[in-house]
Structure 1
Amino acid sequence: MSSIKSDKKVAVITGGATGIGKETARLLVADGVHVVLSGRRADVGARAVEELTKDGGSASFVVADMDSPESIKALFDSVLADYGRLDHAVNNAGLAHETAAIADADPVKFQEMLSTNVMGLFLCLQREIQEMLAGGHGGTIVNLASIAGLNGIPWSGPYAATKHAVVGLTKTAGLEYSSQGVRVNAVAPGAIKTDIIANAITLGQYDEDTITAMHPIGRMGLPREIAAGIHWLLSDESSFVAGTVLNIDGGFQAK
């Protein structure tokens, strides 16, 4: 791809080809932002780009694996080479593949989640901040935390640990960089109707009635409902918000 460098704002969304990531991309594309989606599956990414651009929107896809520092570096090198700027970022990619009590949890799976959910997000966050500062125009970043990053969640201890780390990184980055024009926040979704949750219910890893009962609103959330919160945090409408974790959880945290 040849360099497009222009005044059009640019956003990166990791894990952006499906679910919450794609719904967030849809809102940003409607704002006239060029959105770079990343993920591990080129075919899924291509379909997402086709969907997002069919009405004149601007989007592209870069294959990237959040488990690989080299792949993360290549993603941002590509974005800066092609577009010359970075204005918004959503660190959405993550793993959630453990459903056991801590004494029975698989250390290998825990390590995989740490590598992607914590170190991968950290490396993205670090590079995003660097580029936004270097660009001289600031920017906004939203990290995907979880209700599991604010509470203990039975049978999800390793996952909860990684999301607690995301909350810590978010709050600290918010303190360190908001005065320099880079606002870092997070969203903490409850259970959301994504392919991951649907597959887990189908496999019997989760019980849908139990998950629904966790939320006082009486249902699971939809990806577009989380995307709306992310979109607000990325926008100038939230210009006085920094280092905050926005709960979008159907009342879970209010219990």
Structure 2
Amino acid sequence: MALSIKDKSVLVTGGCRGIGYSCVHQLLLKGAKIVAILDMDSVCGEKAIQKFNTEFGRNCTIFFSTNVSKAEEFESNFKKAVEKMGGLDILINNAGIANERNWDMMININIKALIQGTFMAIDVMGKHKGGKGGTIINMSSISAFGAYVKIPVYAATKHAVIGFTRAIALNYETTGVAIKAMCPGATDTSIISNTEYSNLVSQEEASSFAAKMPRQRTEVVGKETIRLIEEATNGAIWINTLETSTLSLNIPDYTTYGTPV
């Protein structure tokens, strides 16, 4: 499934810093026509588009201050961005937080907003709605594939992203919208440094563990996310960590690995 990013219109949530910022940078390097950034931090967002527009040309990026956990605000700014860009070809659902103390908000951002963004993008890009098809990337995490005692709700949201992505991707024949997931390992972003851990574990131990954790650069994840857009088939789930090269994950059917009891 070869896809050229050149001249495409793209929307990235949480795109003013970290992995989202690196994705925007890589998209522009690949010749994207315009990238809309939806992020809650207006100061960071304005700085980001000023930098991008200076490097890549005037109006190559636009910014909308958006709290994606507020459904009406997200929908309104999503529509404004698509109208301003004249359409949509690619969505990267990247916005996320790691806050076990405010797990309700984390669920709203990490999974509910991601689902909302996916459905809004399908409504715009879907061939069954008169669109021309497109691509959606859902940002998950390596924590989707393990038991993480220090961040159980965060891990649960990332498990949910994988389940949702695998299921919604099965509509490709109808929608023409390819849906894929990227699962980074520990990455040097503010999410790790600002993580609020579960009250059920020692905060000192959790913080010490995180401080010693080897982290990959956001630029690496950005480049691999672009490769996921360009090269991977619909429904692909890629894992990108510091320890290994990027892996394409094949999740087996439960009947092939269950143990009789």
- The reply to whether TM is greater than 0.5 is yes
- The verdict on how the C-alpha distance between 1:178 and 1:209 changes in structure 2, with shifts beyond 3 A counting, is same
1:206 is matched with which residue? 207
Partner in structure 2 of residue 158 of structure 1: 153
What is the letter of the counterpart of residue 78 of structure 1?
Answer: K
Give the one of 89, 112, 116 matched to 1:123.
116
Aligned partners of 1:129 and 1:182 also within 8 Å: yes
Whole-angstrom CA distance in 2 between matches of 1:22 and 1:210: 23
The amino acid that maps onto 2:62 is S
SS of residue in 2 equivalent to 1:207: helix
Alignment of 1:104-253 (within 5 A): 106=101, 109-133=102-126, 134=129, 136-177=131-172, 180-200=175-195, 205-207=206-208, 212=213, 219-235=214-230, 237-238=231-232, 241-251=233-243
* Alignment: residue pair count: 229
The Cα of 1:243 is off from its aligned counterpart by 1.3
Q: Is 1:85 aligned to 2:110, yes or no? A: no
Please name the residue that 1:49 is paired with: 49
CA contact (8 A) 2:141 2:185 kept: yes
Separation (CA, whole Å) in 2 of partners of 1:180 and 1:200: 37
Q: Which residue of 2 aligns with 1:30?
A: 29
Q: Could you tell me how far apart the structure 2 residues matched to 1:76 and 1:209 are?
A: 34
5+ residue gaps in structure 1? 1-6, 99-105, 213-218
- Give a deviation string over 1:96-154, Cα, whole Å, max 9, x none: 012xxxxxxx5xx2211111111111100110111111453211111110111121112
Aligned-pair Cα RMSD in Å: 2.4
- Distance in 1 of aligned mates of 2:191 and 2:77: 24
Q: Contact 1:87 / 1:139 at 8 angstroms: preserved in 2?
A: yes
Q: For 2:161, what is the secondary structure of its paired residue?
A: helix
C-alpha change, 1:190 and 1:178, in structure 2 (3 Å) is farther
Deviation of 1:179 after TM superposition, in Å, equals 5.9
Cα distance in structure 1, aligned partners of 2:45 and 2:130: 27
Paired-residue identity, %: 28
Using the alignment, how far apart are the partners of 1:162 and 1:234 within structure 2?
22
In the superposition, the TM-score normalised over structure 2's length comes to: 0.80
Mark the CA change 1:94 to 1:200 in structure 2 (over 3 Å): closer, same or farther: closer
3-state SS, counterpart of residue 55 of structure 2: coil
In the alignment, the residues of structure 2 paired with residue 198 and residue 209 of structure 1 have an alpha-carbon distance, to the nearest angstrom, of: 8
Cα distance change of structure 1 residues 157 and 41 upon mapping to structure 2, 3 Å threshold: same
Distance 1:210 1:17, change over 3 A: closer
Long gaps (5+) in structure 2: 1-5, 197-202, 248-261
Aligned equivalents of 1:178, 1:190: Cα separation in 2: 31
User: Displacement of 1:80 after TM fit?
Assistant: 2.5
CA offset at residue 75 of structure 1?
1.8
Matches within 5 A, 1:10-29: 10-29=9-28
- Contact 1:45 1:61 (C-alpha < 8 Å) held by counterparts: yes
| Residue 37 (structure 1) shift | 0.6
Change (3 A) 1:111 1:198: closer
Which residue identity is paired with 1:228?
K
Looking at structure 1, the residues matched to 130 and 38 of structure 2 have their Cα atoms a distance apart, in angstroms, of 21
CA distance 1:126–1:211, shift in 2 (3 Å): farther
